[in-house]
Structure 1
Amino acid sequence: MIVSTGMATLAELDETVRTLRDGGCNDIVLLKCTSTYPASPQNSNLRTIPHLRELFGCEVGLSDHTHGIGVGIAAVAFGATVIEKHFTLSRADGGVDSTFSMEPHEMAALVTETERAWQALGVVQYGPTGAEKPSLRFRRSLYIAADIKAGEPLTPENLRVIRPGFGLEPKYYETLLGRRVNRDLAMGTAMAWEYLG
C-alpha cells in the first residue's frame, strides 16, 4: 500500500502503519508529502525521508507537487524509492493541477535522472574503484630524472615529481633527498623504497 503522509502527525502515521500491519499489510510505502499546490522546494523537507524509513522500517518515497524534476531527484539521494508526480498530456489544456503537472517529455526526464541518481548512490567507497585504477597514472609521483649509480645520493637533479603515478608519493620527496640508492637506476625509473641503501 502506498500512503501519502501529507499533513499527518507522527502519531497519526504510527497509528496508520500499525493498523496496516495489524490488518496483514506489510508492503508499505510512505510518501513524504507537502500538501501545498504547488509545493516549494523550501517546504519539501526531504530529510524526513530517511527518518520515516528508520522509524517505520518500510519503503519511503515522495509525493512531489513542486515544479520541475530537481526535488524528485534529490529525494532519491535521501532514499526515496517511489516518486509520485501529477501528470498531464499538456499544461495548456488547463485543469486544477495543470500548473505543477508534468508533461510527457518532463516525466521521461524525471525517470532518466532519478535512475541516474539511484545508480550514483552506490556504497561507501574510499580509494580508487576498479574503474578508477587506470586513472592512477595521471597522478604525480617520484621518478629518477637522470641516470644514477649505486651509492650516489638522490638530489633535485636526479629525483623529480612527475607523471605517471607509479612511483612513491610526492610527499616523500624531502625525505628521500640525500639518501643513497643501492643499485644503478636509469632515468625514468619509478622510485621505490627498495632502491634505497
Structure 2
Amino acid sequence: YDEIDRYCREAGIAWFASAWDAGSQEFLKRYDLAYNKVASAMLTHMPLLEMIAQERKPTFISTGMSNFEQVDAALEIFKKHDCPYTLLHCVSAYPCPDEDCNVSMVTTLRDRYQCPVGYSGHEVGILPSVLAVSLGAGVIERHITLDRAMYGSDQAASLEQRGLAILVRDCRQVKSILGSGEKTVSPAEVKAERSLRYFRQSDD
C-alpha cells in the first residue's frame, strides 16, 4: 500500500480502497484518502458502515446482492452522520451476462434516493458501462487487469489497458452525443437546408 500511495500521489491519482472489516478501515486512515468505498458484500455490515460514515468522507456504496430495504438501512447510517455518498448499481456476477446487467437501475436509484448515482460493472465488454453513463451515471467502476487470461475469479470481468482506454473515450463522448434535448437547427443543418429543403419561408 505504501508503494501504491507513493505512485498515485506522484501521478495525481486519488486512490482509495474497500475495507471489509474494521481493522482494514482503521489501516486505511494512515493514508488520508479522499474517498471511502463500501463493497456490495459489506452493505449489511452495520458496524463497519457506522465507522465509515463517521469519517464523513465522500463514499461510494455498491448495491449488489441487496434489496431496497437493505439499501435504505445502510443509507440511514450515512444520513445520520451527514456523510455524502454515491450509490452504485451493481450486479455481483463475475462476469455478468449482458441480460443480467439491468442498467436501468441507474435511473431507478437516482429517482428513488435523489442522490448521485453510478455503475459498478462486471460485464465482459464495455457497452453496459457506456449505457449507464447515458442514463445518468456520474461514476463508473470497473476491474482492471494486465491479462484477462490470468488465473483469478474476476479476470474475465476485467478490462485490460486498451479496453479501459476505449471505455474512458466512449464515456466522455456520451455527453456531447446526448446533447441538450432542446429542438434547434444545428449549424450543419442550416447548410444542408439550403440544398435539401424545397419549400422555404421567404426572407421577406
Q: Which residue of the partner structure matches residue 12 of structure 1?
A: 70
Amino acid paired to 2:164: M
Q: Which residue of the partner structure matches residue 71 of structure 1?
A: 128
Greater relative contact order structure (CA < 8 Å, 6+ sep): 1
Q: Which residue of the partner structure matches residue 154 of structure 1?
A: none
Deviations along 1:130-170, whole A, 9 cap, x unmatched?
A: 4533332232224xxxxxxxxxxxxxxxxxxxxxxxx34xx
What's the CA shift for 1:6?
0.2
Q: Is the 8 A contact 1:3 1:31 kept in 2?
A: yes
Residues 134 and 98 of structure 1: CA distance in aligned 2, closer, same or farther (over 3 Å):
same
- Paired residue secondary structure (1:39): coil
Query: Structure 1: any 5+ residue segments left out of the alignment?
Result: 143-166, 169-191
Query: Structure 2: any 5+ residue segments left out of the alignment?
Result: 1-58
Q: Which residue of the partner structure matches residue 95 of structure 1?
A: 152
Q: Is the 8 A contact 1:17 1:56 kept in 2?
A: no
Q: More helix by proportion, 1 or 2? A: 2
Select 2:180's aligned residue among 123, 129, 146.
123
Percent identical residues: 32
What's the CA shift for 1:11?
1.1
Alpha-carbon distance in structure 2 between the residues aligned to 1:36 and 1:99: 11
Deviations along 1:65-95, whole A, 9 cap, x unmatched?
A: 0011111111111111111111001123332
Of structures 1 and 2, the larger Rg is shown by: 1
Aligned length: 146
Alpha-carbon distance in structure 1 between the residues aligned to 2:158 and 2:165: 13
Cα RMSD (Å): 1.8
